[in-house]
Structure 1
Amino acid sequence: MEKLNVGEARLTWLQGGNNHLDGGAMFGVVPKPLWSKKYPVNEKNQIELRTDPILLQIDGKHLLIDSGMGRGKLSEKQKRNFGVTEESQVDESLSELGLSREDIDFVLMTHLHFDHACGLTEKKEEGYHSVFTNATIITSETEWQEMKNPNMRSKNTYWKENWEPIQHQVETFSDSYEVLAGLRMFHTSGHSDGHCVLSFERDGESFIHMADLMPTNAHQNKLWALAFDDYPVTSVHQKDKWMDEGYRKEAWYTFYHDAYYRALKFDEEGNVIDEVSRKRI
């Protein structure tokens, strides 16, 4: 498991599974000859995307950023359609760190699409149950309302089995939410209407988690928005805002989906000045 210290914050990437999605969809209107130079693509025109939660340890608290693909929830057809070749091993990752799911204090949900939210619940004989039973689960009010009342498009990614068992644990916010001192969630919209980013800053050290506004290192270009984005113009403007701020501070940018990098740090011109690579087996 890769780790990164950002001031008082310790980040560890857990094994949350993966999927493989169409590269064209992940890069929108960007021509393949351009994006394929920056991110590997297979013979099916698919790119590998991790779904690895980030364990954030700070102030004696254990927090997760998103929840992974889950385990034992997808049918064989769903695994095939979504290109899932690995399911979550979050319990095993936590065990290696001397922790368990019961130790998680907060789960910070950037949004609630299935590839981020499946790990919130698990299937048992009598139905679906919460995984992180002691955690407060935080997401934007906009995202939570669409999760519960999806439209004809979003119902394919907002699943009731991912929200019904955990609804008593959910705390929502409108514009921003301070989880701990210096750690905030911000409602951005863009990828989904309720999408959020995370920002941490203390004593001049900072990281920004852009979630699906910048799902991989190859999406650094501010104009490269996903075909999956509900509001792509908003995505572009939010990327511009958060990347300008991060470049100025030389903040770390962390990834949930990137199969090759866990985190990158850029200078004021957007050049990479430090990195945490993912160890590939």
Structure 2
Amino acid sequence: MWLKQLKIGDMRVTSLTDGKFRLDGGAMFGTVPKVLWTKLTPSDDLNRIALRINPLLVQTSGKNILIETGMWEGDEKFQSMFSLERDSTIFEGLRQLGLDRTDIHLVINTHLHFDHAGRNVLEGKPAFPNARYLVQKQELHDAHHRHERNRASYYTEQYVAPIEEAGLFDVLDGDTEILNGIKVVQIPGHNLGQQAVVLESEGQMLVYTADLLPTLVHAPYPYVMGYDLYPVTTLETRKRFFPEWFEKGAILAPPHDPEYAFGRLEMHPKSGFLAKPL
């Protein structure tokens, strides 16, 4: 079972999983040549690399806060395309912790792509009916105004519209403190409305990086995904935040690392940074 836990001050943090999937390796590493990225992660005969879906549960001050909800179920064609394998689910992980879907107080959607927010809804209804769902205004706009470059990433009618209809979205407009020690910060590049979640307690810091850092091996500055709509903005955002996270010794929780739930940045003379697992 994937469940991996640590403490950030007085917060208990648990990395959950919603299963495994695969995406094209070239798209995952953008302009980085295959001869380089295959040294870090092997590809299958369809050029796809193994990834995970890793939501995060934060428990503090009597609140259960879920960062990301997991991957949309899709149909048989969708599951085959992405080689989706549910070796566990976010719901099973919560049950192992003694929690039910109704015990979640807040859901933070870093963005609304199908592999991050796809479990917002279960069987057509909000999966976490007692929770408020937090999302950036820009991201909600983009989910409803799809175009040729982002259309394949959003299944708005399936897992966004039902949350709106239930009146459960709290729409944010920029960096926002959610609770004492928990804030969201804008990290544009992958898209315009993406946000990271920063936890700080008793001198410790953890950052749920969203797709600014999809896996630990993506830490070098040039390792920007081809999926990013604004790759130069991604690079600028990395150069803004990575030095700060390094200086503060932040623990990073990437959303798609297939092996490691947590890591830290280390400086590298040529590529800016590397990330080492905890």
Corresponding position of 1:92: 92
Corresponding position of 1:136: 132
Distance 2:274 2:145 in 1: 41
Residues 29, 227 of structure 1: 8 Å contact kept: yes
Gaps of 5+ in 1: 276-281
TM-score using structure 1 length: 0.91
Distance 1:199 1:188 in 2: 12
Quote the RMSD (CA, aligned, Å). 1.7
Q: CA deviation at 1:87?
A: 7.0
Distance 2:182 2:214 in 1: 20
- Kindly provide the amino acid, as one letter, of the partner of residue 30 in structure 1: V
Residues 248, 267 of structure 1: 8 Å contact kept: no
TM-score using structure 2 length: 0.92
Q: CA deviation at 1:268?
A: 5.9
Distance 1:15 1:29 in 2: 29
Q: CA deviation at 1:230?
A: 0.6
- The more displaced of 110-119 and 39-48 is 39-48
Residues 54, 66 of structure 1: 8 Å contact kept: yes
Corresponding position of 1:202: 201
Distance 1:255 1:67 in 2: 14
Q: Does 1:161 align with 2:158?
A: yes
- The more displaced of 97-106 and 15-24 is 15-24
Evaluate the alpha carbon distance shift between residue 231 and residue 7 of structure 1 in structure 2; reply closer, same or farther with a 3 A threshold.
same
Evaluate the alpha carbon distance shift between residue 267 and residue 26 of structure 1 in structure 2; reply closer, same or farther with a 3 A threshold.
closer
Residues 253, 265 of structure 1: 8 Å contact kept: yes
Q: CA deviation at 1:147?
A: 1.2
Q: CA deviation at 1:214?
A: 0.6
Q: CA deviation at 1:74?
A: 1.3
Decide which of 141, 147, 150 is 2:143's aligned counterpart. Answer: 147
Residues 54, 261 of structure 2: 8 Å contact kept: no
Percent identity between the two aligned chains: 33
1:186-201, aligned counterparts within 5 Å? 186-201=185-200
Residues 119, 127 of structure 2: 8 Å contact kept: yes
Distance 1:266 1:13 in 2: 19
Corresponding position of 2:240: 241
Which structure 1 residue ranges, 4+ long, deviate > 6 Å from structure 2?
none
Corresponding position of 1:40: 42
Distance 1:69 1:190 in 2: 21
Q: Does 1:17 align with 2:38?
A: no
Gaps of 5+ in 2: none
- The more displaced of 108-117 and 3-12 is 3-12
Q: CA deviation at 1:273?
A: 6.7
Q: SS of the counterpart of 2:234?
A: helix
Deviations 1:15-61 (Å, cap 9, x if unpaired)?
Answer: 31221001000000000111111223223221111112111111111
Distance 2:275 2:132 in 1: 35
Decide which of 30, 40, 43 is 1:28's aligned counterpart. Answer: 30
Residues 216, 276 of structure 2: 8 Å contact kept: no
Distance 1:234 1:166 in 2: 30
Q: Does 1:222 align with 2:210?
A: no
1:245-256, aligned counterparts within 5 Å? 245-256=244-255
Q: SS of the counterpart of 1:233?
A: helix
Distance 1:48 1:2 in 2: 19
Deviations 1:163-204 (Å, cap 9, x if unpaired)?
Answer: 111111111112111111121111222101211111122221
Q: SS of the counterpart of 1:261?
A: coil
